[in-house]
């Protein structure tokens, strides 16, 4: 996002801000979905992210962070808050209870695409929320490890090692482990 647009946004130019919304909505929704939020909740969180970004526009310093990092930091915090709402957790648990058996027996080759996706969602839901965020960020094409490290506020080395561990964990779950 080039500097003139950012400057205009900081000065209160709503049209410029709408360009930012256009540019970043897809990766944002991608991230929120991969985090495990349903479409409806993802929409709410995405909207709230942009609104908060607009309200905090004067505090954003382009020299200190890329706008995408800043934006996703907001989104991450909002998404984590969502998970701390009991209702949501309850919904998710319900969706995936039946899949436990599923994961045990079937060979992945026989699973349809949709079933594979559901299995993955299930596996993701078993992860702690910080790990989910890490994985979600890693698998959106916009992010380098350095950006992830900034958003998650952990060293780059830790990002890599945690990602490795998480992928191992996901594989285990998908292959019928606990």
Partner 1 sequence: MNKQTNKAFTDSELDELLHISASATPPEHFTQQVMASINALPQTIQNRPTWWQWLALTLGGVPAIMQTLAFMFSAWHVAAIG
Stretch that binds partner 1, among 18-26, 73-81, 83-91, 144-152 (CB under 8 A): 18-26
Residue 25 as a binder of partner 1 (CB under 8 A): the answer is yes
SS (H, E, C) the chain: CCHHHHHHHHCCCHHHHHHHHHHHHHHHHHHHHHHCCCHHHHHHHHHHHHHHHHHCHHHCCCCCCCHHHHHHHHHHHHHHHHHCCHHHHHHHHHHHCCHHHHHHHCCHHHCCHHHHHHHHHHHHHHCCHHHHHHHHHHCCCCCCHHHHHHHHCCCHHHHHHHHHHHHHHHHHHHCCCC
Among 85, 91, 98, 139, binds partner 1 (CB under 8 A): 139
Based on CB atoms, which residue is closest to partner 1, 81 or 175? 175
Q: For partner 1, what does the binding mask look like between residues 152 and 171, x meaning CB under 8 A?
A: ---------------x--xx
Q: For partner 1, what does the binding mask look like between residues 30 and 49, x meaning CB under 8 A?
A: x-xxx-xxxx--xx--xx--
Residue 70 as a binder of partner 1 (CB under 8 A): the answer is no
Among 69, 121, 129, 145, binds partner 1 (CB under 8 A): 121
Based on CB atoms, which residue is closest to partner 1, 117 or 165? 117
Residue 174 as a binder of partner 1 (CB under 8 A): the answer is yes
């Amino acid at each position: 996002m080039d500097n003139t647009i950012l400057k205009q946004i900081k000065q209160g130019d709503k049209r410029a801000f709408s360009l930012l919304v256009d540019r970043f909505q897809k990766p944002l929704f991608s991230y929120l979905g991969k985090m495990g939020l349903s479409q409806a909740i993802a929409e709410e969180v995405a909207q709230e992210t942009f609104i908060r970004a607009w309200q905090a526009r004067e505090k954003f310093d382009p020299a200190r962070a890329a706008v995408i990092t800043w934006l996703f930091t907001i989104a991450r915090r909002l998404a984590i808050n969502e998970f701390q709402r009991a209702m949501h957790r309850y919904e998710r648990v319900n969706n995936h209870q039946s899949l436990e058996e599923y994961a045990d027996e079937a060979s992945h080759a026989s699973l349809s695409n949709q079933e594979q996706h559901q299995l993955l969602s299930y596996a993701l839901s078993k992860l702690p929320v910080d790990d989910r965020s890490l994985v979600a960020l890693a698998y959106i094409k916009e992010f380098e490890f350095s950006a992830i490290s900034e958003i998650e506020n952990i060293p780059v080395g830790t990002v890599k090692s945690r990602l490795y561990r998480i992928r191992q964990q996901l594989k285990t779950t998908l292959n019928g482990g606990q």
